[in-house]
């Protein structure tokens, strides 16, 4: 059977030996083909709290730049559920007896995949990373922690019959990447906790799904094939390892993720729209008190992407500023990207984020004096999950299926074409007012000369932008 990249689906997608079709519901997914939902999963799926994920676009407002990016957290969660099941089932078939894998392990891994994003906020990560820190003055809130609260709420609200140990394990797996690795829960069958949210080396089925799904939705070619690592993985020393011949496939996982960050998630116009939406939500929070629901699952599940339409169509005078910003987005009257530069490699280690005040302080005297509220500075970090290090350094491989020895593969044995540095930091500046583009651009160039002795950007701001009124 050919791969999904040739319009057909890999043979393993058609049926797992662990699926009982008589009691499962079949759905067809445009990435994975036929997916079978078992009764425990359906108990959660058929609730209004999980169905809310249909109203959360996976990539927020990215569809305003990439029209096909209208897929949702619902599709992604179903996909991660299926891949989590395929992963544990394959390990069980090959090594289940020696690893003492039981039904409890299989069920908890699958449910963790299904429910890992049930606490996600609207507009992708913008809600959590950009909006909430401004209104809470804190970075402590996370969608993973909200997922734990939401799971408890769904179980109680719908009287779902499920063992407390199952719920506990599922919740542990969802936050495994941020948990203390020495905790007791993560020392027993540790490899199970690496399937959905892998804090050990970053390879997990969450990435498998969103990298392929997001690429396809945005019309981009994806060179990463998750069927290859699934075919070759095995557990050695309580860790999922991969056959050494697949080291380039594993590398493509991380390079494909970095490419998506550069071309989609951090696209200059996508970020301009994001900044405008954040400003709109911050202004609307004074009237709607959006932040008041973020700790109460009974209220939080009612919050989704439709809040934009509510603000846009509201006649409330208190929402006028937010409404105007959203209508500017609709009319493509966006914050204008002025320019960007990539932080030099020798500056990465000690680099501090640039602020609007830094740009203002670099403005030469002129007719117009810039204010902080006129400028947006975006400090973008793009890496391969391990900062400036090669992610393959934390991954163990094995030579062949007869060997029980695991080992990392150093850079020089992978390819001499690999980069010396695995991180980019890009500084972008936007003007909120079209008539200030020239002033902001000049101040940004002055900032570079003052701090680096030269303009580090590779192109100038186009004259048509500078002269826009």
pLDDT digits (tens, 9 = 90+) for 252-291: 999 999 999 999 999 999 999 999 999 999 999 999 999 9
CA pseudo-torsion sign 185, 101, 254, 78? negative
> Residue 277: helix, strand or coil by DSSP?
helix
pLDDT at position 411 is: 73
Count of CB atoms situated within 10 Å of the CB of 369: 10
Q: β-strands 423-431, 336-342: how paired? A: antiparallel
What are 380's strand-pairing partners? 426
Q: Angle 294-295-300 (CA atoms, 0-180°, nearest 5)?
A: 50
pLDDT (average), residues 110-118: 98
Res 468 pLDDT > 80: no
Contact 336, 430 (CB under 8 A): yes
pLDDT at position 185 is: 58
Contact 356, 443 (CB under 8 A): no
> Residue 96: helix, strand or coil by DSSP?
helix
* 287-336 tens-digit pLDDT: 999 999 999 999 999 999 999 999 999 999 999 999 999 999 999 999 99
Res 416 pLDDT > 80: no
pLDDT at position 7 is: 36
In terms of Cα–Cα distance, which of 162, 148, 79 is closest to 120?
A: 148
pLDDT (average), residues 31-56: 97
Give the dihedral of Cα atoms 102, 105, 106, 111; nearest 10 deg: 150
HSE of 258, CA atoms in CB hemisphere, 13 A: 22
* 45-90 tens-digit pLDDT: 999 999 999 999 999 999 999 999 999 999 999 999 999 999 999 9
pLDDT at position 469 is: 56
Res 2 pLDDT > 90: no
Q: β-strands 423-431, 375-383: how paired? A: antiparallel
Give the helix/strand (H/E) hosting 73.
Answer: helix 73-99
- Token representation of residue 215: 């690429």
Hey, which of 8-12, 324-328, 454-458 has the most confident mean pLDDT? Answer: 324-328
Lowest-confidence segment of 127-141, 149-163, 203-217, 380-394 by average pLDDT: 380-394
Res 91 pLDDT > 90: yes
pLDDT at position 447 is: 94
CA pseudo-torsion sign 413, 415, 416, 422? negative
Name the pLDDT band for 451 (thresholds 50, 70, 90). Answer: confident
Give the residue carrying structure tokens 């494909």. 256
pLDDT at position 465 is: 75
Name the pLDDT band for 151 (thresholds 50, 70, 90). Answer: very high
What residues are labeled active site?
143
Q: Please tell me which residue, 360 or 413, carries the higher pLDDT value.
A: 360
Lowest-confidence segment of 139-148, 391-400, 448-457 by average pLDDT: 448-457
Res 1 pLDDT > 60: no
pLDDT at position 455 is: 84
Cα gap 426→32, rounded to integer Å: 35
Q: Please tell me which residue, 55 or 3, carries the higher pLDDT value.
A: 55
Name the pLDDT band for 44 (thresholds 50, 70, 90). Answer: very high
Q: Which domains does the chain have, with CATH numbers?
A: 4-269 (1.10.3210.10), 336-384+422-469 (3.30.70.2760)
% of the chain surpassing 70 pLDDT: 93
Res 4 pLDDT > 70: no
Give the residue carrying structure tokens 């400036």. 388
């Amino acid at each position: 059977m050919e791969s999904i990249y040739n319009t057909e689906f890999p043979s393993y997608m058609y049926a797992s030996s662990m699926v009982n079709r008589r009691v499962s519901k079949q759905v067809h997914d445009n990435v994975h083909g036929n997916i079978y939902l078992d009764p425990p999963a359906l108990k959660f799926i058929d609730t209004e709290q999980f169905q809310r994920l249909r109203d959360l676009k996976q990539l927020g407002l990215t569809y305003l730049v990439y029209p096909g990016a209208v897929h949702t957290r619902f599709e992604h969660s179903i996909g991660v559920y299926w891949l989590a099941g395929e992963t544990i089932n394959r390990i069980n078939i090959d090594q289940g007896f020696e690893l003492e894998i039981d039904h409890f392990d299989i069920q908890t891994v699958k449910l963790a995949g299904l429910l890992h994003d049930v606490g996600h906020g609207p507009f992708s990560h913008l809600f959590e990373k950009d909006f909430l820190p401004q209104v809470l003055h804190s970075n402590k809130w996370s969608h993973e922690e909200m997922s734990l609260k939401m799971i408890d709420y769904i179980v109680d609200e719908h009287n779902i019959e499920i063992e407390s140990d199952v719920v506990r394990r599922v919740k542990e797996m969802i936050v495994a990447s941020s948990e203390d690795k020495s905790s007791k829960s993560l020392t027993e069958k540790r490899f199970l906790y690496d399937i959905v949210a892998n804090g050990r080396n970053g390879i997990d089925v969450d990435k498998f799904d969103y990298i392929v799904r997001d690429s396809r939705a945005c019309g981009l070619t994806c060179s990463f094939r998750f069927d290859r690592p699934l075919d070759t993985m095995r557990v050695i020393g309580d860790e999922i390892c991969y056959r050494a011949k697949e080291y380039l496939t594993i590398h493509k996982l991380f390079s494909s993720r970095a490419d998506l960050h550069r071309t989609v998630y951090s696209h200059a116009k996508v970020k301009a729209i994001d900044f405008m939406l954040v400003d709109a939500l911050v202004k609307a929070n004074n009237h709607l008190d959006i932040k008041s629901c973020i700790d109460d699952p009974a209220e939080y599940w009612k919050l989704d992407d439709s809040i934009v339409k509510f603000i846009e169509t509201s006649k409330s005078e208190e929402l006028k500023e937010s409404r105007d910003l959203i209508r500017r987005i609709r009319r493509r009257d966006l914050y204008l990207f002025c320019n960007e530069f990539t932080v030099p490699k020798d500056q990465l280690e000690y680099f501090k984020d640039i602020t609007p005040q830094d740009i203002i302080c670099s403005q030469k005297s002129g007719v117009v004096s810039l204010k902080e509220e006129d400028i947006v500075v975006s400090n973008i970090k793009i890496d391969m999950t391990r900062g400036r290090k090669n992610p393959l350094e934390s991954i163990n491989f094995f030579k062949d299926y007869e060997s029980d020895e695991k080992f990392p593969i150093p850079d020089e044995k992978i390819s001499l074409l690999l980069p010396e540095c695995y991180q980019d930091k890009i500084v972008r500046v936007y003007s909120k007012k079209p008539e200030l583009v020239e002033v902001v651009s000049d101040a940004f160039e002055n900032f570079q000369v003052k701090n680096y002795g030269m303009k580090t950007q590779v192109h100038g701001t186009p004259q048509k932008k500078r002269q826009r009124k």
